[in-house]
Amino acid sequence: MSIVYIFGDSITYGAWDIEKSGWMARLRLFFDDLQLNNPNYYGLFYNLGIPGETTVGLIKRFESETAARGREGEEVVFIFAYGANDAAFLSEENKFRVSKDDFRHNLSEVIKKASVITKKILLINILPVVEAKNISRNGKMRLNKYMQEYNCVVQELAIELNVHLIDTYSVFMKVGHEKLLASDDGLHPNERGHQLMFETIKPIVQEMIGWQ
């Protein structure tokens, strides 16, 4: 039996995908279909995305969320997709919502706790934004240079703690991120963006749980 926990923010939750409710929902549908056609497969896929959440919220709830859903003898995979809210610059306060040092600490601590349970841990880095729509949105400024700075932290932690990293930032930039993000938002993926995330993440998760 496999249990996959996916922690993240509104992008993990599936915001702005009115077609299939996000990349994580698409991932679950794919694996549910595999289970229906193969009696040897059984798994649970938990979407633990909370819109607006930062790593501050993650570190507070990680243990209680996993304890409530854990089962003895299961094969566990953890997926963490954070940073877009941490890296939001609060113009009026002249600071990031979560500093890079605190972001590093929070994510590192959660990965260390997760590694006690399993070695199958996957980090998903921060997507690019359409800057013209994010110069000052609700008092929060999101620029790609900020996303890249926080992505450097994610990459460093992946190397330091020996966990797998999926570079969705580069995938979106290569394809052309403007057409993959919600037109009136510039932050959340649209249906095409969520589909691309699903296609990028699926083979890694499939390999981790050993389902063909």
Distance CA 26, CA 14 (A): 10
Distance CA 41, CA 35 (A): 5
Q: Does residue 207 contact residue 201 with C-beta atoms inside 8 Å?
A: no
CA distances 116 to 2, 76, 110, 210, Å, are 16, 11, 10, 21
Q: What is the pLDDT of residue 73?
A: 74
CATH 3.40.50.1110 fits 2-209, yes or no: yes
Q: What is the pLDDT of residue 138?
A: 74
Q: What is the largest CA-CA distance in the chain?
A: 56
CA distances 3 to 47, 163, 179, Å, are 11, 18, 33
Q: Does residue 129 contact residue 143 with C-beta atoms inside 8 Å?
A: yes
The H-or-E segment that residue 32 falls in is helix 23-37
Domain residue spans in the chain?
2-209
Q: What is the pLDDT of residue 93?
A: 94
Distance CA 23, CA 34 (A): 17
Q: What is the pLDDT of residue 136?
A: 64
pTM, 2 dp: 0.96
Distance CA 166, CA 200 (A): 8
The H-or-E segment that residue 67 falls in is helix 55-69
Distance CA 25, CA 92 (A): 36
Q: Does residue 125 contact residue 151 with C-beta atoms inside 8 Å?
A: yes
> Across the 212 residues of the chain, what is the mean pLDDT of every consecutive 10-residue run?
96 94 97 93 96 98 96 90 97 96 99 97 97 75 96 99 98 92 86 97 96 84
Q: What is the pLDDT of residue 181?
A: 85
Q: What is the pLDDT of residue 76?
A: 97
Residue 105 three-state SS: helix
Q: What is the pLDDT of residue 184?
A: 78
Q: Does residue 188 contact residue 182 with C-beta atoms inside 8 Å?
A: yes
